[in-house]
Amino acid sequence: MRTITVSRYVTPLREGGSMPAVVEGDDLGVYVLKFRGAGQGVRALLAEIIAGGIARALGLPVPEIVLAQLDPALAQTEPDPEIQDLIRASAGLNVGLDYLSGALTFDPAVDEVSADFASRLVWFDALVANVDRSARNTNLLMWHRKPWLIDHGAALTFHHAWNGAVADPAKPFPSIADHVLLPRARALADVDAELAAKLSPEVLAQILSDVPDEFLAGAGAEHPQGPLAAPHTHRQAYVDHFCARLAGREAWVKGAINARG
């Protein structure tokens, strides 16, 4: 991934629970910045990188993800004390997503997507355990008449209480029943084998190679022993988890199909 330096804080996006912000980068680009000092901490940034990388490997549209260096001195220009605290707590490396100017929030009552796209998205969200794609909060944008996936910080729910072990990887994902596109996902069985074939161990390892060591070290600090203790074994633990989940996918794909029924 590219690394940019945040040159200006533009405005907060207060509809996000972690209060992301629109910022400008030193490359003159505009990004939605996800702060490591926000509620879920560095694990939300890990989820953005890993889930976003998996989505892209599956051919799903995700804005470019960048690493973003944040200078705590930017807090001095912000009048809101809450924003000042968030900037200072997030000094250093964070994650940004390319800002899709003019994009509109996906409206399931108005916006159309194909059964094929809906099925691929439901399959992906079941794989990565994304709890945040409901009708209340779709985390989909319509940009140039095309749906784009955003905000995967709430995915990978397993890693918030995780010691690196692969436990019950085939477990169905109950929250898929609330997925905004589940009613349209009529081709889940048809896309299953194709999507799984795109996520070889080598592809998953390449996705994890984009994760900075310092993010993994921060997330693994509470586990001084075991596979999360070192960045390279921490990466492999994620690869092992997804390989096992793919190997046992019959159960969770069937769970999603049954949820449609």
pLDDT tens figures, 148-176: 999 999 999 999 889 998 888 899 999 99
CB 19 within 8 A of CB 73: no
Long-range contacts at 227-233 (CB < 8 A, ≥ 24 apart): 227/163, 227/164, 227/165, 228/162, 228/163, 228/164, 233/164
Same domain, 42 and 116: no
Same domain, 119 and 92: no
Burial of 30 (0-12, 13-18, 19+ CB in 10 A): middle
- State the average pLDDT over residues 234-241: 97
In tens, the pLDDT along 13-60 reads: 876 567 899 999 999 999 999 999 998 899 999 999 999 999 999 999
**Does 201 reside within a domain?**
yes
**Does 141 reside within a domain?**
no
In tens, the pLDDT along 171-224 reads: 999 999 999 999 999 999 999 999 999 999 999 999 999 999 999 998 877 777
Angle, to 10 degrees, between the axis of helix 249-260 and the axis of helix 231-247? Answer: 60
Q: Which of 90-99, 212-221, 228-237 has the lowest mean pLDDT?
A: 212-221
Q: Which domain holds residue 121?
A: 111-135+156-260
CB 37 within 8 A of CB 16: no
- The strand pair at 104-105 and 92-98 is best described as unpaired
- The per-residue pLDDT for 17 is 62
Percent of the chain scoring above 90 in pLDDT: 88
Same domain, 122 and 238: yes
Same domain, 215 and 248: yes
Same domain, 54 and 91: yes
How many domains are contained in the chain?
2
CB 148 within 8 A of CB 82: no
CB 33 within 8 A of CB 21: yes
**Does 119 reside within a domain?**
yes
- The per-residue pLDDT for 40 is 82
Same domain, 51 and 177: no
**Helical segments of 64-187, H only:** 81-89, 115-127
- The per-residue pLDDT for 16 is 59
**Does 168 reside within a domain?**
yes
Same domain, 243 and 197: yes
CA dihedral angle for residue 34, residue 56, residue 140, residue 50, rounded to 10 degrees: -40
CB 18 within 8 A of CB 38: yes
**Does 194 reside within a domain?**
yes
- The per-residue pLDDT for 132 is 93
Phi (first) and psi of residue 54, to 5 degrees:
-65, -45
CB 53 within 8 A of CB 209: no
Same domain, 163 and 83: no
In tens, the pLDDT along 105-146 reads: 999 999 999 999 999 999 999 999 999 999 999 999 999 999
Same domain, 125 and 246: yes
Q: Tokens 């997330």 — which residue?
A: 219
Same domain, 54 and 163: no
* Pairwise CA distance, residues 9 & 75, whole Å: 9
Give Cα separations from 151 to 34, 99, 171, 224, 246 (angstroms): 9, 12, 23, 30, 23
Region of 145 please: left (phi>0), alpha (psi -120 to 50) or beta: left
CB 86 within 8 A of CB 35: yes
**Does 248 reside within a domain?**
yes
Same domain, 85 and 25: yes
Q: Tokens 């310092």 — which residue?
A: 214
CA dihedral angle for residue 15, residue 17, residue 23, residue 27, rounded to 10 degrees: -120
Residue 256 pLDDT more than 80?
Answer: yes
* Pairwise CA distance, residues 203 & 157, whole Å: 21
**Does 228 reside within a domain?**
yes
- The per-residue pLDDT for 161 is 86
pTM above 0.75, yes or no: yes
**Does 147 reside within a domain?**
no
Same domain, 84 and 182: no
- The per-residue pLDDT for 103 is 96
Structure tokens, 228: 């999360």
